[in-house]
Chains A and B, each alone.
Chain A
Amino acid sequence: MDSMILSKEKMKDFVAALGQQKLYAPQKEGETLRFSLLGEEDVPELDFSNTTVPPKDVVFPQTETLYQYELGGTDMKEPEGGEEGAVMGIRPCDARAMSIVDSLFSWDVDDPYYLERRSGNTFIGLACLEPCVNCFCTSLGGAPASTEGLDALMTDLEDKYLVKPLTEKGEKLFQKAADVLEKATEEDVASAEKLHEEAAAKVARNVDTQGIPEKLPELWEADLWKDVSNSCLGCGICTYLCPTCHCFDIQDEVEGFEGRRCRMWDSCMFGEYTLHASGHNPRPSRRERTRNRINHKYSYYVDKFGTIACVGCGRCIDFCPVNIDILNILTQVKEAL
């Protein structure tokens, strides 16, 4: 299927043409931008640099019920399977993060909850034309208009979007809305490509990851971990807002005689995360926790799945309350190697 044009004025018709299916898109909630289910009257908010909360919570919700039960009974009720839906306005870095995390959720045991949402949803990307100050996607194999993990890519051409379906799923979705789309001219395609290139050149920060994955474990006892973690508060901002962080905790929540088992995001920056029932904590301080976060992303994940679990979206740098900067840590790592 060829590229097409969606005029900005027709956005409402486009959303309506997609029909009854669920559509997630960035929405402003106060000052915060995050993905949420679009209501009937809502229009997706597509004029942004990036969302505060990454779209990972569409496929991997912060709290998810696995099953429900009654105390004393033996029956379990599982949630119904997901309907089909679409996620619109994902930045290429966040989409790439999903495809990185896919290998984890389908490794060893397939995770039906995650994979069902991954296959049931169509992911429509929005090329990044104005990278933020802390973006460094180009250093990690991504690009502001990367198509990895996406079913279609949109590019903002001022008064219209250029839509390029990439997979069968993407094509199917846009066929539903064929009436509101127009054919794209070669000129449009060319100007979009030019914008993509310009955007890639605008990414200001970078890091050379050459050699880091292999050598990071050698720095296990290095002084730098204490220096970089001194100011860490031990909060969950860097991990909860990270598009590739995927750790979860499973808990039973019982009220009266009804209970449910659910899983929720957990963060390796919390002391509780590794706390044993005996009271022993193998990662007793923020130094070990920070070391683990960096090692997991830049070394362990590479060992297991062959790719660095960081896409360079810059959220952990932007939102860290004490300016712990992952690029700064990596620079120090490079120096110490």
Chain B
Amino acid sequence: MVDLEKLRNAAKEIVSQDDVKYLIGWRDGTFGFRISPHFMESPEEADKLIFSPLCTNNLATYLTMAEKLPIPRGEEPDRRKVAVMVKGCDSRAVVQQLVEQGTNREEVYIIGCPCEGVVDIKKIEKKFPDVLESVEARWENGQIVLKLPGGEQSFPREEVLAQKCLTCRYPNPVLADTVLWDEVEVLGVEEYEDVKELEGMDSKERWAYWQDKISNCIRCYSCRNVCPMCYCEDCVLERLNPTWMFRSVNVAENTAYQLARAFHLAGRCIECGECERVCPVDIPLMKLNRKLYKEVQEDFQFEPGLDPESKPLQASYRPDDKEDFIL
């Protein structure tokens, strides 16, 4: 059960520690159902912290996002901890970053928030259009309760939950320094129905489907930037020599971009669904990621982001890996 009082007190305590730089949490956004990441440097700001079904953002992204500005001569880099609030899926992102040494365990403090599923912002804005005032929300016995301007409304959470939450198997943080409240029950089973539906088509139909979607891409790179696993300092997209893909926006280059993005996440994607959430032109990016997730599970019996001691999938092998496709 979410306890905001407890959350804020814990945050105050953590952020007052000498070895903590700042705390990343969620706070109410500026309108409607939106929420905004909250960067908290002093205990006074704790009252803004929230945790509700609207907290979709995966804050693990920010662990690898801070710009590494040049350090003046004679000064030491700031190695204090960054405290971060994580849901189940977000905690897997942190674990995967630790596996890849993108984040240092000594420099992160993980605050676990067991989560009963977050909303799909598109679904909820369709259900309640044109809400300007900031809305409060909470879970209650499998229902989502919204404090709308016209009074409270509650409805079964399945109606508005994000797709990733309906099939989520890890609602509880897999790694945390402190867990704020009791663990919650697993809601979903992953059946990969949408992936299987596409697999059932022939190549021509599949290409027609993807061409239609990918031709919309405007290459804003929000899917790359929001991804907690996309933190290379030197991305293939920005390379001019060699030019892996041209900057022109057309189906060929967009496809190459999406293939590169999806492939670089094979065995690394932890299914937080952020890429699909932020896409302004509604490309079903998670279908690509989930397809690879499924194959990784079937072919290599591997799931990323569960064990900080594991080895990255593509940097390891087993002599008996499948090779039925090799001539």
Contacts and interface: CB of A to CB of B under 8 A. Distances in A.
A and B touch in the complex (CB under 8 A): yes
A53 interface: yes
A284 B67 CA distance: 8
Contact of B218 (A230, A240, A324): A240
B148 to A, nearest CB: 14
Interface string B111-144: 0000000000010000000111000000000000
Contacts, number: 118
B280 A237 contact: yes
A323 B249 CA distance: 26
A120 interface: no
Contacts of B212: 29-30
Nearest to B57: A322
A52 B247 contact: no
Contacts of A270: 221
A234 B221 CA distance: 9
A60 B215 CA distance: 18
Do most interface residues of chain A lie in helix, strand or loop, or is the interface mixed?
loop
B12 interface: no
A62 B217 CA distance: 11
B226 A53 contact: no
Interface residues of B, number: 44
Interface string A113-137: 0000000000000000000111000
A325 B32 CA distance: 12
A70 B224 CA distance: 34
Given A264-B249, A323-B36, A62 B218 contact: yes
Interface in A302-335: 317, 319, 321-325, 327-328
Interface residues of A, number: 45
Given A233-B65, A264-B247, A327-B30, A321 B131 contact: no
Interface in A31-74: 31-32, 34, 52-53, 62-63
Given A31-B282, A264-B248, A317-B31, A240 B220 contact: yes
B226 A63 contact: no
A241 B278 CA distance: 13
Contact of A237 (B130, B132, B220): B220
Interface string B249-291: 1100000000000000000000000100110111000000000
Interface in A209-241: 227, 230-231, 233-237, 240-241
Nearest to B131: A133
Contacts of A317: 30-31
B248 A235 contact: no
Interface string B285-310: 00000000000000000000000000
Name the residue among B30, B61, B224 with the largest chain A CB count within 10 angstroms.
Answer: B30
Contacts of B57: 321-322
A318 B48 CA distance: 22
Contact of B37 (A230, A264, A327): A230
B270 to A, nearest CB: 18
Contacts of B65: 233-234
A286 interface: yes
B31 A133 contact: yes
Interface in A258-282: 262, 264-265, 267, 270, 272
B29 interface: yes
The 6 closest A-B pairs by CB, nearest first: A235-B222, A321-B278, A236-B220, A323-B29, A231-B37, A325-B30
Given A235-B226, A323-B29, 16 more contacts: A29-B212, A30-B216, A62-B249, A133-B31, A230-B37, A231-B62, A233-B61, A233-B278, A236-B222, A237-B220, A240-B220, A253-B246, A284-B67, A286-B67, A322-B37, A325-B30
6 contacts: A31-B122, A52-B281, A63-B247, A204-B132, A237-B220, A241-B220
